[in-house]
Amino acid sequence: MANPRPYDAVLCDLDGVIRFFDHTELTELERAAGLGEGTTMKVFFAPDAGRPALLGRITVEQWTEAAEAALALQTPPERARALVTAFVKAPARADEEVLGLLRRAQAHVPVVLVTNATLSLEDDLAWLGLAHFADEVVSSALTGVAKPDPRIYEIAAERAGVPAGRCLFVDDRAENVEAARALGMTAVLFTGAPGLETALAPLLG
């Protein structure tokens, strides 16, 4: 008998899909410092700083120290420190509507988080109350590969116990979605809960 489902596992990004940050304070501090909005984020995720952190090669403390030093080249040290603190301490929330949809999907197939994250991910998930939410968690900091590297998708499919072609992948970044499609996954660019519900409709009924 043919499998009526189009996929047998859901692989889902964390940030920008489930977890969202409030950077209001950070933006205000950037304006006060005469910096463009998003400057701090760009410094944190510049290849020479963000990449080692997301691959687990440096600690979060080392990452923030490097970002503070880089920002201090653009603004006085005390302002750089305040910007880094606002970034690190930015309030975060989990989207309950998205979580509800994923929990409904979990009644039918495994749900695996696939995230480019630092070594603090376990603590971050616990703080959000999501320590035991996913069936598996694939973190770039622990695997040593980050999206859109094909290997992290392969690891996620292996953890789910299904072939790549039987996975639905959900992410808010187009390059990550395209990489999943190249491996034969059904891949959806996340734009909000309604789109996710449509993608999950074959499971949810």
Helix (H) or strand (E) holding 168: strand 167-171
Check residues 205 and 135 and name the one with the higher pLDDT.
135
Task: Report whether pLDDT(104) > 70.
Answer: yes
Cα distance between residue 120 and residue 159, in whole Å: 21
Task: Report whether pLDDT(1) > 70.
Answer: no
Mean pLDDT of 77-83: 97
Task: Report whether pLDDT(36) > 70.
Answer: yes
AA letter at 107: A
- Answer whether 142's CB lies under 8 Å from 158's CB: no
Residue 77 in 3-state DSSP?
Answer: helix
118, 157, 123, 125: which is closest to 139 by C-alpha? 118
Helix (H) or strand (E) holding 10: strand 9-12
Task: Report whether pLDDT(51) > 90.
Answer: yes
- Answer whether 8's CB lies under 8 Å from 166's CB: yes
Is the pTM value of this prediction over 0.85?
A: yes
Task: Report whether pLDDT(2) > 60.
Answer: no
